[in-house]
Amino acid sequence: MSSPVGDKTRAIRDALAAALRPEGVVAHQGELEVRICAGTACHASGRPAVTAAFKDELATRGLSDKVRVVETGCHGFCEQGPIVVLQPKGIFYPRVRTDDVAKIVEASIVGDDVVENRLYKDPKTGERVALEKDITFYSGQKRLVLALNGKVDPYSIDDYLTLGGYEALAQVLVDDDPDKVINVVTDSRLRGRGGAGFGTGVKWSFTRRSPGDEKYVICNADEGDPGAFMDRSVLEGNPHVVLEGMTIAAFAIGAHEGYVYVRAEYPFAVERLARAIEQARERGILGEDMLGSGFSFDVHINQGAGAFVCGEETALMASIEGKRGMPRTRPPYPAVEGLFGKPTNINNVETYANVPWIIRNGAEAFAAMGVGNSRGTKIFSLTGKVANGGLVEVPMGSTLRHIIFEVGGGMLPGRQFKAVQLGGPSGGCLPNEMLDTTIDYETLIATGAIVGSGGLVVVDDTTCMVDLARYFLEFTQEESCGKCVPCRLGTKRMLETLERICEGDGRDGDIELLEELSHYVMDGTLCALGGTAPNPVLTTIKYFRDEYEAHVNEKRCPAGKCKALITYFIDPEACTGCTLCAKKCPTNCIAGDKKQPHVIDVGNCIKCDTCRQVCKFDAVKVRSGIEHAAGVAGEA
């Protein structure tokens, strides 16, 4: 029995099946494969040479046609790059160097063994772990968005199609019911992953209900937060999942044109995304009458030009229109009046990447993860003084302790946990006592920090919290677009005050002044940049007030970071007289004979920290306190 509806369903299914060209598939199940991570960090630590070495080695052994070498998207374990995973077993080799390649091929590809001393070493137990799935960094995670990262070749749409890609889109097109899509997304309780956490389904329904034939969808990939790189990794590792999510959103709201606004600092992401769009067009998945459904949608890439404020939605749209990227007042919200004055739906990369999963697995499965009003998973980029930095995807409601000490493997050897900085320049620093805080939108706001885009920077006792606050304010001050006076001048005054404190010229009442200014800045600005810029200052004052007081009252930097407040000296007990520091000193201010303790001429010392870094005996130390610095310099 054939009905028009049944015909259309079959047509879409057939078109999707036809889009796959099996000869292009690289991710064959069960075949021998060398998967090399081609993320930015692995690339910078020598991925191209490792790939070449594997290809050469396999060619010399005549194995080129039996074993495939695939460069995949980011595996997320950036600390251990370049990463190589051997399939089908999943043997994981971290920090591979070109001279290891022959050994690895010999043992694990030709033979059935592992190169024991090149395997990953667990930082806690010290044991070697062979398989990717057994590594705590991966086993402690719940990967939804990142599931296919590291499994697919980002340049191949066939890889993505083999693993169920664009199924969700086909299903949506078959159902042909935009309201149903919006209901599913609303029921899943997915919230925007870019920082503000607005309900995605609600946003879509607003845009859908806005009058007008011409509507747009925008993907915000202007990931400006220093220390956050999850959007980049998703775009670099699996660009199709973002395209699929965007297309579903376009169908739901009735848009036919979309823009992806990517930072120009991410050249790989731009290149891979452009390739993905091209492939999807070729196969009839994007463009006119996609998959024979009658629905049309196309995507353009728009490169940013290095302005942090363009991550704000109205500023981003101004930038696409070719203007200075300045935010404007809301309402009207983009859902009513957005790009080129038309209703626009704008979501973050990670938000779109969640959508195909939700459509495939249902709203209940997604809502089952997480706590309270925060559902699903969230990717964090864990960096700083932590043993296993990288991309961590965990269900909402996980504790900071779980992320840092279970998944992240704890602190680097010999380092003491001091604080964790969440959410970049808009977020805050949380101390040791707050480690059991669960990560969800509401709980974190109560602490003064935010989920933000998901940057987690772990700092140790050598980091000065006042300096860290100063650093963030320097950033927001630089990036403030200048439209709102409280943001333009308020952050400037705050920065000056913090600089004064770090220089040892802090005055009584400076801390209170910072708090007072913070509230003016937060109240008097249009967009979230100004509204959250004081967060790093407020949270560091809240949790580390003693450090501020030490700077202001005692002219002392407890962490030994603020240059004006410290002096370098050599401990005569520990110094062996190896002369290494004297050789490395750029100003030749270290004197001493061989095998005799050395002395630093404090008057000429520029405090570049080189001597302390090169000393193998920890003999170079830092003294804190301005009277000390001045006194010794005076003597010299």
Residues that bind another protein (CB under 8 A): 40-41, 43-45, 78-79, 81, 223-229, 232, 264-267, 302-308, 318-325, 328, 381, 383-385, 389-390, 421, 424, 455, 457, 459, 463, 468, 471-472, 475, 479, 481, 584, 586, 606, 608-610, 613-614
CB of 322 vs another protein, minimal distance in Å:
3
Nearer to another protein, 321 or 523 (CB): 321
Residue 575: both structure tokens together:
């110094």
Residue 594: both structure tokens together:
């061989």
Residue 443 burial class via C-beta count within 10 angstroms: exposed 0-12, middle 13-18, buried 19 and up: middle
Nearer to another protein, 252 or 459 (CB): 459
* Spatial CB neighbours of 164, under 8 Å, sequence gap ≥ 6: 360
CA of 21: how far to CAs of 51, 242, 360, 606, in Å? 25, 21, 23, 62
CA 390, chain centre distance (Å): 8
CB of 121 vs another protein, minimal distance in Å:
17
DSSP string, 209-271: HS--S--EEEEEE---STT--HHHHHHHH-HHHHHHHHHHHHHHHT--EEEEEE-TT-HHHHH
CB of 265 vs another protein, minimal distance in Å:
6
DSSP class of residue 412 equals P
Cβ pair 337, 321 in contact under 8 A: no
Nearer to another protein, 389 or 490 (CB): 389
Nearer to another protein, 39 or 140 (CB): 39
Nearer to another protein, 149 or 156 (CB): 149
Residue 308 burial class via C-beta count within 10 angstroms: exposed 0-12, middle 13-18, buried 19 and up: buried
Per DSSP, the three-state class of 176 is: coil
CB of 586 vs another protein, minimal distance in Å:
6
CB of 152 vs another protein, minimal distance in Å:
20
Residue 507: both structure tokens together:
């005055």
Nearer to another protein, 81 or 409 (CB): 81
Interatomic CA distance for residues 517 and 485, integer angstroms: 12
CB of 295 vs another protein, minimal distance in Å:
25
Nearer to another protein, 471 or 520 (CB): 471
CB of 50 vs another protein, minimal distance in Å:
15
Interatomic CA distance for residues 357 and 521, integer angstroms: 40
Nearer to another protein, 192 or 304 (CB): 304
Cβ pair 308, 318 in contact under 8 A: no
CB of 587 vs another protein, minimal distance in Å:
9
